[in-house]
């Protein structure tokens, strides 16, 4: 008896699936006859996915740039209470005490501890001509020891003691007048641009570097710095390094792992970008849902007699609902895939710059379209298809058979 019951259940399932397949086939074959409404739905959904993925890829690219700036075996020391280099300040004596802390890599030339000055200058953007805040960093020789990814791409290193600068590759691409051989106005003086460098895709690519002593004189800063960046023996050396600094009564500082510091810097910008991306996508999705509703209602209207005939022949309402939902999902997935492809080729690798609010300076970065973002886009497309197909599917299943057949 149990075997017969199982066989009967299997027959019902197979019969139902065959009904769904038959109704779905008729629906998909009728798509060319509804090309206008189907095309509008596809492009509407594609637009939602493309815009959402594009905006969110901006946040991913920004975060990736800041992540590339930090290293777990490096630390940054700021004045106590400062959230960024822009609002920090350390004396020369502070920097010497920090360099004596345990856990720092030491070479023949001394501790790998780089005291650095940080200022902002105004430069015009290439794209708009509007002035933007560009970071200028004054460094000493130790800066080259604590950064393993620094690479000179063009020209030469500036000479110590001279008012020469080298410029990050990202800054060159985004801001006007930073080519090798040009001059940069700092205060009342023109500083020759002698080289272009790469910092491994990190925030250093957005910066202009000069000799800290010369830059201090230009800005009348005496011997003050904004930060000290140190190279640690290992990531595990940080707790002892931090504890030693906090225990020294001469210091009022805040020590952070470098990667944690840049992660904090990216939080505010990422939050705004993600909020904007999902908000715009949600607003566009409302329009795309109405487009999908219109498409599927059009499908039901064009197939009224066909559906009534199938129902009269014994096809169940559930098969009609399933077939309409499958058609809606097919349209949505096609639109989502189209939008994902457009987003990848238009946005991935696109270079731009945006304000890093904690330090009020521009950071150059590239949009980064990841597989996760593409999957998110497809998921949004599927949701639009589900919502857009549900009510038309229910309407199709509830069509009065007798009234529909009178139209034959």
Give the integer Cα–Cα distance in Å for 249 and 253. 10
3 state DSSP class of 140: coil
Verify that 86 and 217 share a domain, yes or no.
Answer: yes
Whose CA is closest to 112, among 232, 224, 210, 200?
232
DSSP 8-class letter at 167: E
Verify that 210 and 159 share a domain, yes or no.
Answer: yes
Flag whether 72 is in a domain. no
**Maximum distance among all alpha carbons in the chain?**
99
Q: Which domain does 193 fall in, by range?
A: 81-251
Chosen domain end from 200, 220, 251: 251
Give the integer Cα–Cα distance in Å for 352 and 373. 19
Helix (H) or strand (E) segment spanning residue 90: none
Verify that 202 and 272 share a domain, yes or no.
Answer: no
**Residue pLDDT, tens place only, 50-100:** 888 988 898 888 888 888 888 889 999 999 989 889 899 999 999 999 999
Give the integer Cα–Cα distance in Å for 349 and 205. 15
3 state DSSP class of 401: helix
Verify that 55 and 188 share a domain, yes or no.
Answer: no
What is the model's pLDDT at position 287? 78
Flag whether 12 is in a domain. no
Matching residue, tokens 């990422």? 270
Verify that 343 and 387 share a domain, yes or no.
Answer: yes
Verify that 289 and 346 share a domain, yes or no.
Answer: yes
Flag whether 256 is in a domain. no
pLDDT above 60 (res 2): no
Flag whether 259 is in a domain. no
Q: Which comes out higher in pLDDT, residue 24 or 207?
A: 207
pLDDT above 90 (res 6): no
Verify that 287 and 340 share a domain, yes or no.
Answer: yes
Verify that 203 and 336 share a domain, yes or no.
Answer: no
Helix (H) or strand (E) segment spanning residue 176: none
Helices vs. strands in the chain: H and E counts, helices first: 12, 14
Verify that 320 and 178 share a domain, yes or no.
Answer: no
Q: Could you give the dihedral angle defined by the CA atoms of residues 35, 376, 362 and 149, in that order, rounded to the nearest 10 degrees? A: -120
What is the model's pLDDT at position 392? 67
Verify that 39 and 131 share a domain, yes or no.
Answer: no
Flag whether 279 is in a domain. yes
User: Both tokens of residue 294?
Assistant: 């219109």
Whose CA is closest to 230, among 42, 77, 27?
77
Flag whether 148 is in a domain. yes
Beta bridge partners of 192: 183
pLDDT above 70 (res 34): no
How many domains, in total, are found in the chain?
Answer: 2
Chosen domain end from 223, 251, 279: 251
Chosen domain end from 221, 251, 281: 251
Verify that 206 and 280 share a domain, yes or no.
Answer: no
Whether 163 and 183 have beta carbons less than 8 Å apart is answered as no
Confidence (pTM): 0.78
Verify that 206 and 350 share a domain, yes or no.
Answer: no
**Residue pLDDT, tens place only, 270-320:** 888 888 888 888 888 787 777 777 776 666 665 566 666 666 656 666 666
């Amino acid at each position: 008896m149990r075997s017969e019951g199982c066989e009967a259940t299997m027959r019902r399932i197979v019969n139902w699936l065959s009904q769904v397949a038959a109704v779905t086939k008729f629906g998909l074959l009728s798509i060319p006859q509804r090309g206008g409404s189907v095309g509008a739905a596809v492009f509407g959904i594609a637009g939602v996915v493309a815009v959402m993925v594009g905006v969110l890829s901006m946040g991913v690219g920004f975060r990736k740039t800041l992540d590339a700036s930090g290293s777990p075996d490096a630390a940054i020391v700021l004045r106590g209470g400062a959230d960024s280099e822009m609002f920090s300040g350390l004396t020369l004596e502070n920097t010497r005490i920090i360099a004596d802390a345990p856990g720092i890599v030491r070479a023949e030339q001394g501790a790998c501890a780089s005291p650095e000055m940080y200022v902002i200058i105004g430069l015009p953007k290439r794209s708009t001509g509007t002035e933007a805040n560009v970071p200028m960093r004054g460094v000493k020789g130790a800066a080259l020891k604590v950064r393993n990814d620094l690479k000179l791409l063009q020209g030469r290193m500036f000479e110590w003691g001279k008012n020469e600068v080298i410029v990050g590759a990202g800054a060159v691409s985004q801001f006007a007048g930073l080519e090798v051989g040009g001059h940069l106005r700092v205060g009342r003086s023109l500083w020759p641009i002698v080289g272009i460098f790469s910092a491994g895709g990190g925030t250093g690519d957005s910066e202009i570097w000069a000799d800290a002593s010369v830059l201090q004189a230009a800005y009348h800063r005496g011997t003050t710095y904004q930060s000290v960046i140190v190279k640690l023996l290992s990531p595990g050396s940080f707790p002892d390094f931090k504890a030693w600094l906090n225990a020294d009564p001469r210091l009022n500082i805040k020590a952070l792992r470098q990667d944690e510091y840049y992660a904090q810097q990216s939080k505010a910008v990422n939050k705004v970008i993600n909020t904007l991306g999902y908000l715009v996508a949600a607003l566009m999705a409302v329009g795309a849902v109405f487009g999908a509703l219109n498409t599927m209602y059009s499908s039901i209207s064009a197939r009224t007699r066909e559906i009534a005939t199938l129902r009269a022949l014994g096809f169940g309402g559930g098969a009609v609902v399933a077939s309409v939902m499958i058609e809606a999902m097919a349209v949505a997935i096609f639109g989502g895939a189209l939008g994902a492809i457009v987003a990848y080729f238009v946005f991935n690798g696109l270079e731009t710059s945006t304000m890093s609010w904690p330090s009020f300076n521009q950071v150059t970065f590239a949009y980064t379209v990841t597989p996760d973002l593409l999957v998110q886009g497809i998921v949004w497309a599927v949701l639009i298809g589900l919502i857009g197909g549900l009510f038309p599917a229910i309407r199709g299943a509830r069509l009065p058979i007798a009234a529909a057949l009178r139209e034959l």
